[in-house]
Structure 1
Amino acid sequence: MGSATSSMAAKFAFFPPDPPSYGVNVEETTGKMRISDVLPREDVDVMKLTTKKGNEIVAVFVKNPSASLTLLYSHGNAADLGQMYHIFTELSLHLGVNLMGYDYSGYGQSTGKPSEQDTYADIEAAYKCLEEKYGVKEEDTILYGQSVGSGPALELAVRLPNLRAVVLHSPILSGLRVMYPVKRTFWFDIYKNIDKIPLVNCPVLVIHGTEDEVVDVSHGKQLWELCKEKYEPLWLKGGNHCNLELYPEYLRHLKKFIAAIEKLPCVQEVTEQATDKPESPLKTADHNTEKARTSTDQKEKSRTSTGQREKSRLSTDSREKARTSTDKREKSRRSIDRTGKARNSTDQSERARNSFDRLGDMVRSVGLCNVDCLRPAASEA
């Protein structure tokens, strides 16, 4: 009975587009791999990665020359790289990050069949590629999980102690909880995010639509409540499961989150500083200690105090204060909060593709739906 239920849950979880929305070809002149039916771009690498399960998955890496952080994006159900390609390139541009997206086994032109364990192997292969091929460090990586993609994202997050941050977009508590309002975790359930989220040590942003008809907003809210390092969530009023990218608040909030994360020290730095100065108090209100902090040399002044770091990681309000003290370099970067001004200041070539309206059009044209197939499948069961 348990095995049958587990197989049923796995069946509900994976619905790759059939047929795939894209093909892969190799340019004769350059030998570079390309996604078919899209305009080739020099800032996008297309590659095939071999997972520890023996499958060969397709991945894309979008390079941004001004980026200090890299987003590893796990997309939702009923989508593949052909549908996500333009969205990935636009997000990289708008957010000022490098971005790697990949197809799960059995999706698009990736070989094998999708399963929970295969998706874990898939994201592991993508992350390994970031480390070995592009030199991306763990502390400079943000994991982004959309809907079903929240499963592999959180599985990897609990294994990366120095991870910079996590974004959960319309996440699920678990596979079974999408279909049934169970109150406990069963062994045969898949993507047990509800049990993994408390183990994530980095800041977590949760984005969910209040009118999500596929994965109720209560999933996102409960996951946010269970986070150790809560960042101000985004509950998009009226948003459903497939259209959150159409809301201007979506990009604005993501941009604000990225800017805050760039200013926060990574977990590794905080640990090293705590080891170097164990005598430095974290929660003391002693007046003499405060004097000592203010009288430190210029080098120490340039560093954020351990207490301030601790507060900034535990308090959204402190992060807001940190953002208001951004240096001139940060002010010079593109601001999604002032999307209109940014568009007016960009040159003609960037203006043509740096449009939020275009991103919205892409989402509309793709008609992405991540686990919409769960409902009819559950009804049949």
Structure 2
Amino acid sequence: MNIWCWIALIVALQGIIFMLLVPLVIYNVLFRRTKPTKWARTCSMPEDPEYVRMYEQGLAWGERYRDRIEEVSIQNDGLKLCGRFIDFGQPKTVIIIPGRTEAGEYSYYFAEPYRRLGCNIMAIDNRSHGLSEGKVASLGFREYRDILAWGRYLHEERGSTQILLHGICIGSSTGLFALTAPDCPDYFRGMTADGMYTAFYHSFKNHMLEDKRPLFPTLQLTMLYIRIFSGANVVTDGPRRRMPWLKKPILFLHGREDIYSTPDQVKELYNICTSEKKLVWFEKGAHSRLRMNQPEEYDQAVVDFWREKC
């Protein structure tokens, strides 16, 4: 083999290594907790004024009811999971499930309509977030078992006879996985889905397109690393696959301006859902920011739907 063949081989190998390495770096940045301060109980986007306002308004809500807040923890899958129980002395509790990078305090922002409904609030740190243990974000594929464990805690230790779920983005997928699990207890009554996607693959792809990043092979390899390290099949499994299994009521809240979980995705989910359902559209608000732009309409949609159910 002459020198030019060796050079070509070396260049090709370097290209392959680079091609494999870049998605691995992306995976570690986006889906693995590499230090305790990552995905902590802080505002995840301090550079975004709208996001900061959401977070600060949530903290202000928590401050109003600080005498009712209790730090609690459970064990599941060998992990210590932490959260805050806001006790309003009610038999109903809502578990608010934040998306990736967010911890329990973020959930305060979405709690008010459920307080109006007469619910206690369970604001959880998902595994690998906040004070909870864990290293990997598995995008609902493992986290849903934690939701069932939180439900058992609320039912057995707190006397909650009815449990609702409110999921934001990935949190809505997690909630759906929990409600469609074969061992989901009857005291789980249903869920609100804010910004649900058909499969995480599509939402992540839309993020990459917005950032004007080349899709191939980075997108495909990142999905592969998610499968290898967390066991999550985010390409063919997700809400689209599991929605037909749902037998409990679901309220879809979705924005027409959502460029990640696009409107066509929730239309598809709504159409294949065979359980009791309602879809409420919001004209303003980016992904996960519907309530920030139309707070009265958001809260009233939640209250109106669930007041009839529990």
Say yes or no: TM over 0.5: yes
SS of residue matched to 2:258: coil
- Which of 17, 20, 23 does residue 40 from structure 2 map onto? 20
Unaligned 5+ residue runs, structure 1?
23-35, 263-381
Residues in 2 aligned to 1:135 and 1:68: alpha-carbon distance in whole angstroms:
7
Aligned pair in 2 of structure 1 residues 213, 77: CA closer, same or farther (>3 Å)?
A: same
- Per-residue CA deviations over 1:68-106 (Å, capped at 9, x if unaligned) read 532121111232123334x25534433321221211111
Give the alignment's TM-score, normalised by structure 1.
Answer: 0.55
Residues in 2 aligned to 1:64 and 1:127: alpha-carbon distance in whole angstroms:
17
SS of residue matched to 1:207: strand
Q: Does 1:112 align with 2:138?
A: no
Residues in 2 aligned to 1:157 and 1:132: alpha-carbon distance in whole angstroms:
18
Q: What is residue 7 of structure 2 aligned with on the other side?
A: none
- Which of 65, 69, 81 does residue 44 from structure 1 map onto? 69
Residues in 2 aligned to 1:165 and 1:131: alpha-carbon distance in whole angstroms:
15
1:1-381 map, 5 Å: 14=31, 18=38, 20-21=40-41, 39=63, 41-52=66-77, 54-65=78-89, 67-85=90-108, 87=109, 89-116=111-138, 117-137=141-161, 140-159=162-181, 160=184, 162=186, 163-180=188-205, 189-190=233-234, 192-246=238-292, 247=294, 248-262=296-310
Percent of aligned pairs sharing the same letter: 21
- Per-residue CA deviations over 1:8-60 (Å, capped at 9, x if unaligned) read 996686477736235xxxxxxxxxxxxx99747232221122112x1112111
- Per-residue CA deviations over 1:125-181 (Å, capped at 9, x if unaligned) read 2112112211223xx221222101122211110132633222111012111121348
- Per-residue CA deviations over 1:210-234 (Å, capped at 9, x if unaligned) read 0012221222221111111243311
| Alpha-carbon contact 1:56-1:110 (below 8 Å) kept | yes
Give the alignment's TM-score, normalised by structure 2.
Answer: 0.67
Residues in 1 aligned to 2:173 and 2:68: alpha-carbon distance in whole angstroms:
29
Task: Compare CA radii of gyration and give the structure with the larger one.
Answer: 1
TM-superposed deviation, 1:259: 0.9
Structure 2 letter corresponding to 1:169: D
| Alpha-carbon contact 2:70-2:85 (below 8 Å) kept | yes
Aligned pair in 2 of structure 1 residues 9, 206: CA closer, same or farther (>3 Å)?
A: farther
SS of residue matched to 1:234: strand
| Alpha-carbon contact 1:46-1:61 (below 8 Å) kept | yes
Residues in 1 aligned to 2:83 and 2:263: alpha-carbon distance in whole angstroms:
30
| Alpha-carbon contact 2:151-2:163 (below 8 Å) kept | no
Structure 2 letter corresponding to 1:21: R
Segments of 4+ moved more than 4 angstroms: 6-13, 36-40
| Alpha-carbon contact 2:257-2:283 (below 8 Å) kept | yes
Residues in 2 aligned to 1:106 and 1:143: alpha-carbon distance in whole angstroms:
20
Aligned length: 241
Aligned pair in 2 of structure 1 residues 143, 11: CA closer, same or farther (>3 Å)?
A: farther
Residues in 2 aligned to 1:88 and 1:63: alpha-carbon distance in whole angstroms:
16
Residues in 2 aligned to 1:97 and 1:214: alpha-carbon distance in whole angstroms:
30
| Alpha-carbon contact 2:95-2:122 (below 8 Å) kept | yes
SS of residue matched to 1:104: coil
Residues in 2 aligned to 1:222 and 1:8: alpha-carbon distance in whole angstroms:
33
Residues in 2 aligned to 1:19 and 1:144: alpha-carbon distance in whole angstroms:
20
Unaligned 5+ residue runs, structure 2?
1-19, 43-58, 207-223
Aligned pair in 2 of structure 1 residues 152, 192: CA closer, same or farther (>3 Å)?
A: same
| Alpha-carbon contact 1:161-1:201 (below 8 Å) kept | no
Structure 2 letter corresponding to 1:20: A
